[in-house]
Structure 1
Amino acid sequence: MTSNGYLRYVAVGDSQTEGVGDGDDVQGLRGWADRLAELVARESPGLLYANLAVRGRLAEQVRAGQLAPALALRPNLATVVAGLNDVLRPRFDADEVAGHLEAMFAALTAQGARVATVTFPDIGRIAPPARPLAPRIVALNARIREAAGRHGVAVADSWPYPAVTDPRMWSADRLHASPRGHALIAAAVAHALDLPGADDGWTRPLPPGAVPRTGLRAVGAELRWAGAFLGPWIVRRVRGRSSGDGRQAKRPALLPVTALADGPY
């Protein structure tokens, strides 16, 4: 970073960093990393930004496929977010996943980048069938915090705050943030980085929304969700397929940031 701010921002990760849930594959995805780049560019108008994230990637795959290209771009700001896909797999080792994240933290900070990451929310509050995964998330979050501390990485710690699991922050599949949720993640990372104008507003509960469904309406909603999203996800796993098969990074080169209209979270 110079007196004029950040010059090159590179984001690595999986579907959340790619921006799934905020836009679509026809009109284009925005996502929290794009939104963060816009916030950074307010103070650093010459900012160049690349996004190497690809949906479906495990932490090991992010490290293997994205770290070297990220280093080659010589960022002085980088975000590293991965691990939730690992949590969802039958086999999960928190130490192994955190090890891949820490390797990326170490390599990027050693090259002089300011690095930020996030912890993960309790996804069982968003999708009840995922409640048994809470211990995995707690274990991974603890290791992310420890690894980040060893390398001076900024952490947007999402776990403690109810706003992060508010249904309005999540898209219909309950696996990816909604546009409003992506805006909240961007605000959280900006706050962790202590960007000018960033504050802790993202940690506060949202105003009351619609009354949650109960009884048969709730059961019906869960069945519709399972048919539309959980079932196809299970089929991909059984077939050894990934949502990211055949996909490339949406923004592999450093390009100027074009601001989009801001949305409230």
Structure 2
Amino acid sequence: MADDSRNITQSTIGSYTAVGDSFTEGVGDPGPDGTVVGWADRLAVLLAERHAAGQPPGDFRYANLAVRGRLLDQIVAEQVPRAVELAPDLVTFCAGGNDILRPGTDPDAIAERFEAAVADLTSAVGTVLVCTGFDTRGVPVLRHLRGKIATYTAHVRAIADRYDCPVLDLWSLRAVQDRRAWSEDRLHLSPEGHTRIALRAAQVLGLEPPADPDEPWPPQSRRLPSEVRRENIQWARQHLVPWIGRRLRGESSGDERAPKRPDLLPLR
């Protein structure tokens, strides 16, 4: 895997804004107060802990503008201008996944709109980290979209090269190929999955994370094919069918939701 880190030192990142959809909002990683946590929040903690020596931890500021269900154009319209206005040292920009999952969408056209947003962000922000798609080869239903996701991922990497952006390469992260990295709905990461992503993002940004994001998972006993079939049927009933229904009705899980952390505030 290519080294996607740039010469970014912890002293250059005193503020961070996360932009995106449910992945960045943190769905699948519930916090003790009922809100979601997620990899971006976990990355913010790592950045704050490693903030420049001699500066109080409270000087590090963090905003999370991500809202579940958002399509790329919504993110560009609602979140990117706010991120430009906040002008943090770092923006993580992960978007386009919900567009790719919709039938009939063109990854080439989505990538063109993604690049325009990257151009806006890099003109105002010190560092813009972008995310590739996940490899869905082991995911029921979504495995059929693997080629489409791969095409979009190739575009994201090319855009990152053009704008000198570090890349959070989710496609090559082996740890998230394990079923335990995903929540029950198989669309969002589990708490451990979010943790692995945060550790990898820290690596990309030049930090020394407290653990290896690709550390092998503990061995599991082999499941019978009948158990796997029962799990797949239960998943389809509980999660896949409602998800398809929302798409057909033009509904989103993020309708009427606001960002959980809209302002750059000290991280407590």
TM-score of the superposition, structure 1-length normalised? Answer: 0.90
Alignment of 1:206-221 (within 5 A): 206-211=217-222, 213-221=223-231
Question: Does residue 52 of the first structure (1) align with residue 65 of the second (2)?
Answer: yes
For 2:9 and 2:209, how far apart are their aligned partners in 1? 19
Query: Cα offset for 1:65?
Result: 1.1
Larger RCO of the pair (alpha carbons < 8 Å, separation 6+): 2
Indicate conservation of the 8 Å contact 2:9/2:206, yes or no.
no
Alignment of 1:158-173 (within 5 A): 158-173=170-185
Indicate conservation of the 8 Å contact 2:91/2:125, yes or no.
no
Indicate conservation of the 8 Å contact 2:64/2:261, yes or no.
yes
Q: Say which of 154, 158, 165 aligns to 2:166.
A: 154
Alignment of 1:32-71 (within 5 A): 32-44=39-51, 45=57, 46-71=59-84
For 1:231 and 1:25, how far apart are their aligned partners in 2? 29
Q: Say which of 102, 109, 112 aligns to 2:122.
A: 109
Indicate conservation of the 8 Å contact 1:18/1:31, yes or no.
yes
Indicate conservation of the 8 Å contact 1:161/1:204, yes or no.
no
- Give, as a single letter, the amino acid of the residue that structure 1 aligns with 2:244: I
Query: Cα offset for 1:205?
Result: 3.2
CA separation of 1:200/1:154 partners in 2, compared to 1, >3 Å: closer, same or farther? farther
TM-score of the superposition, structure 2-length normalised? Answer: 0.89
For 1:76 and 1:191, how far apart are their aligned partners in 2? 17
Question: Does residue 231 of the first structure (1) align with residue 268 of the second (2)?
Answer: no
Question: Does residue 29 of the first structure (1) align with residue 42 of the second (2)?
Answer: no
Question: Does residue 10 of the first structure (1) align with residue 21 of the second (2)?
Answer: no
**Any idea what SS the aligned residue of 2:130 has?**
strand
Aligned alpha-carbon RMSD (Å): 1.9
Query: Cα offset for 1:31?
Result: 0.5
Taking every aligned residue pair, what percent have the same amino acid on both sides? Answer: 45
Q: Say which of 140, 143, 148 aligns to 1:136.
A: 148
Q: List structure 1 segments (4+ residues) > 3 angstroms apart after TM superposition.
A: 1-5
- Runs of 5+ unmatched residues, structure 2: 1-7, 52-56
Indicate conservation of the 8 Å contact 1:98/1:140, yes or no.
yes
For 2:211 and 2:48, how far apart are their aligned partners in 1? 20
Counterpart in 1 of 2:3?
A: none
Counterpart in 2 of 1:184?
A: 196
For 1:123 and 1:86, how far apart are their aligned partners in 2? 15
Indicate conservation of the 8 Å contact 1:12/1:51, yes or no.
yes
Larger CA deviation: 103-112 vs 13-22: 103-112
For 2:170 and 2:261, how far apart are their aligned partners in 1? 26
Question: Does residue 203 of the first structure (1) align with residue 210 of the second (2)?
Answer: no
**How many residues were matched structurally?**
255
Query: Cα offset for 1:3?
Result: 8.2
For 1:3 and 1:172, how far apart are their aligned partners in 2? 35
Indicate conservation of the 8 Å contact 1:11/1:33, yes or no.
yes
CA separation of 1:103/1:169 partners in 2, compared to 1, >3 Å: closer, same or farther? same
For 2:173 and 2:92, how far apart are their aligned partners in 1? 21
- Give, as a single letter, the amino acid of the residue that structure 1 aligns with 2:106: D
- Give, as a single letter, the amino acid of the residue that structure 2 aligns with 1:205: P
For 1:48 and 1:76, how far apart are their aligned partners in 2? 10
For 2:49 and 2:254, how far apart are their aligned partners in 1? 32
